[in-house]
Structure 1
Amino acid sequence: MDTIYSFKIYNSTSSLPLEWNSLAIDNIFLTREYLEILEKSSPTNMICHFIGLFHKEDLVGIALSQFLNLNQLESFGNRDKCIKTAVRNTVFKNFISHILIIGNNMLTGQNAFAFAETIDPIQGLKTLKKASEKLKIIFKNKGLKVHITTFKDFATEETTAFHQAGFQKHFQYCTQPNMLFDIPNQWKSEQDYIEALSKKYRDQYKRARKKAEGIEKRKMHLDDIIKHEVTIYDLYYHVAKNAHFNTFFLAKNHFRIFKELLKDKFLFYGYFLDERLIGFNTLIKNGNVMDTYFLGYDESIQREKMLYLNMLYDMVAYSINKGFKEIIFARTALEIKSSIGAKPQEMYGFAKHSNPVADMVFEKAFNYLEPKVDWKERNPFK
């Protein structure tokens, strides 16, 4: 007989069960503290809910949902201005502008849920599916019809449980891979990384470092982030709006709130030229894994100084020096991340359109609308 689980949906972190964090030990992105960041500074077109799964009175699962209203976006992304983009944007606005995500659209990887060891994972997924149906009703009562429900970012080995939990009629899709950088145990410093590179990529490293002469990298604290908040947002927004496609833009206070709530687990590095902030990157410590987060830069200086590549090298160096096991470089800029040693991991999602007719053509529409990125995988090591 199936174990029966119940669920509760919360719209505030203040009402979460006291034992919530005991299930988020392995993932900072499901902790009360991180969810409070979303509560206080999520994108303006995003509404978050938190889901608790229960066996009788015991909390046995936690999950995050995000509702995105794409109609509230002023721009989907400016890079590829063409007929296809215009068509894509029109279709998104009218047919798939209201998206309910079980997971986190601001990150790459399985940040959707965490189950206790005692839970039956198949029954847990079935219960989450029921919770997603309940959320659709909640939004319908607010006058917002959910077009698409999606469970996102699962590795190949994680997809089997979904098939067993009744997701066969969902469209299983695969988007751009997650770029992962594994750090060998024997590497103790940046020098170990440099020595592992082949001559071609060691030369690339030296050239990038030489180009960046004159730029000062500074670890920025909360008061620094507040002081430079306007410039930080401008640098971020420049990079974000030139992406192929966007489903959100960060709130202006996002990095300040992040630093206030996650403190030393959130790292913010500014890059200065003649005392002017010209770029920044951010890192999040997640156990023995380092997650890269958003960055920004002045495009004119970026090109001349190879700033983005230098940021990637800095992230690798810091993570090795501090004993991390892996760096999650996420999506975008796949080839340049590959050139420093990151490897692609395919990620899958499960999606269903609430309109049965639209659902029949959803797969074709998705394949047409999802930007395909041609890139060549590199291997920089000897």
Structure 2
Amino acid sequence: MWGDFFDVNTLTYKIYSSTAALPDNWNDLAVDNIFLSKEYLKVLEQSGPENMTCHFIGFFKGEQLVGIALSQFLDVNQLKSFGERDRCVKTSVRNFIFKNFSSHVLFMGNNMLTGQNAFHFLEEINPKDALKSLKKASDTLQLIFKKKGKKVHLTSFKDFTKEEISAFENVGFKDHYKFCIQPNMVFEIKENWNSFDDYIADLSKKYRDQYKRSRKKAEGIEKRKMNLEDIIKYEATIYDLYFHVAKNAPFNTFFLAKNHFRVFKEMLKDKFLFYGYFIDDTLIGFNTLIKNGDSMDTYFLGYDESIQREKMLYLNMLYDMVAYSINKGFKEVVFARTALEIKSSIGAKPVEMYGYIKHSNSLINKRMDVIFDYLEPKTEWQERNPFK
């Protein structure tokens, strides 16, 4: 743990490298976001990606803890692959930029999730004071890594909605590039949907037929809710299924540890749901869900690609996630990024996400508008409306 550091607004902060050192009342500030809780931070600590280093930041007014935050440092040089799906000139340029000019990235936030999972402050704290202190903490973190011989090339504050990002104006981010990235796909659950059948009844004929076709294709697949012992038993297969999907993504900055799902279940218990899909007792796919207050957050999944295509497994997983969330009374399902069009086809809507990024090299930083176009893969897609 590093000692007190003062900013100009009388807020102090402490940077912790271990969850064991966190203040006893840390979770009092994480009640609205499980991804800032001690339990989740322990998951990162015990089973985070090999190329990731996490720090936890406590903000104080006097002796009172008034804010909490997460940072993640990624060394992308440790990756063997950034993703194998897209092979083109632009992808080669992007990989070259990352390897040679941007291999050390400091995220003030969570690069493994989509949405504002970076920090939380008490309402009594002025938002501008909070953000100034957060930026000061990022400067201190850069010094910490520099002393360890790891210069931070890129510093990024992510992911924020249009309303949330407006608070960053006039608080010291003028030399940062403001970016807009792929949207967060959020499925809003209507108040009149008391069951999954109500959702199906609201679909237009075209998308009701899509639902029926996908369910028919999935005949022969058994879905099982898996407990900790099951996850441990199938751990090797689970990782193979996950890694197959992950390595074929358009872009990766990390890969999960092999024990990640086991540790997740150990730490979050019934708030972490793991569902396996089986054919004749062979695990051919899985998905995961995290209960986060009134929201259901989807997490990582995996599948056998050949079976996925034949059985429309991914689409069936999306329907299953929606069904559970409606039936259990959640208000929304956060589907995050990727596969935007198919998520749209079941009713998820895009929410634009913004952030700020800065390169340590002033010359490169001046051209971040050009460079960012290479760092963030673009996806062309068409939004769907499946309802009547």
TM > 0.5: yes
- Residue in 2 aligned with 1:274? 280
Identify the match of residue 127 of structure 1 among 123, 129, 133.
Answer: 133
Question: Is 1:160 equivalent to 2:160 in the alignment?
Answer: no
Matches of 1:44 and 1:123 in 2, distance apart?
Answer: 34
Matches within 5 A, 1:136-215: 136-215=142-221
- Residue in 1 aligned with 2:4? none
Identify the match of residue 262 of structure 2 among 256, 264, 267.
Answer: 256
Identify the match of residue 43 of structure 1 among 49, 57, 60.
Answer: 49
C-alpha deviation, 1:166, in angstroms: 1.9
Matches of 1:172 and 1:35 in 2, distance apart?
Answer: 28
On the 8 A contact 2:91/2:374 being kept in 1, the answer is: no
Say which SS state the counterpart of residue 338 (structure 2) adopts: coil
On the 8 A contact 2:93/2:374 being kept in 1, the answer is: no
Matches of 2:384 and 2:306 in 1, distance apart?
Answer: 26
Return the letter of the residue paired with 2:154. Answer: I
C-alpha deviation, 1:325, in angstroms: 0.2
Matches of 2:96 and 2:361 in 1, distance apart?
Answer: 18
- Residue in 2 aligned with 1:115? 121
Return structure 1 stretches of 4+ with deviation > 4 angstroms: none
Return the letter of the residue paired with 1:96. Answer: S
Return the letter of the residue paired with 2:51. Answer: N
- Residue in 1 aligned with 2:229? 223
Return the letter of the residue paired with 2:174. Answer: Q
- Residue in 2 aligned with 1:66? 72
Question: Is 1:77 equivalent to 2:91 in the alignment?
Answer: no
* Unaligned ranges ≥5, structure 1: none
Q: Which moved more, 1:159-168 or 1:230-239?
A: 159-168
1:220-262: CA deviation from partner (whole Å, max 9, x where unpaired): 0000000000000000000000000000000000000000000
- Residue in 2 aligned with 1:23? 29
Cα RMSD, aligned residues only: 0.7
Say which SS state the counterpart of residue 175 (structure 1) adopts: strand
Matches of 1:283 and 1:188 in 2, distance apart?
Answer: 20
C-alpha deviation, 1:368, in angstroms: 2.8
C-alpha deviation, 1:369, in angstroms: 3.1
Question: Is 1:235 equivalent to 2:262 in the alignment?
Answer: no
Say which SS state the counterpart of residue 173 (structure 1) adopts: strand
Return the letter of the residue paired with 1:311. Answer: M
Question: Is 1:321 equivalent to 2:327 in the alignment?
Answer: yes
Identify the match of residue 351 of structure 1 among 353, 357, 362.
Answer: 357
- Residue in 2 aligned with 1:303? 309
Say which SS state the counterpart of residue 75 (structure 1) adopts: coil
Matches of 2:295 and 2:374 in 1, distance apart?
Answer: 34
On the 8 A contact 2:183/2:337 being kept in 1, the answer is: yes
Matches of 2:18 and 2:220 in 1, distance apart?
Answer: 46
Matches of 1:87 and 1:139 in 2, distance apart?
Answer: 27
* Unaligned ranges ≥5, structure 2: 1-7
C-alpha deviation, 1:280, in angstroms: 0.1
Return the letter of the residue paired with 1:200. Answer: K
Question: Is 1:372 equivalent to 2:372 in the alignment?
Answer: no
Matches of 1:160 and 1:302 in 2, distance apart?
Answer: 41
Identity fraction in percent: 71
Aligned length: 381
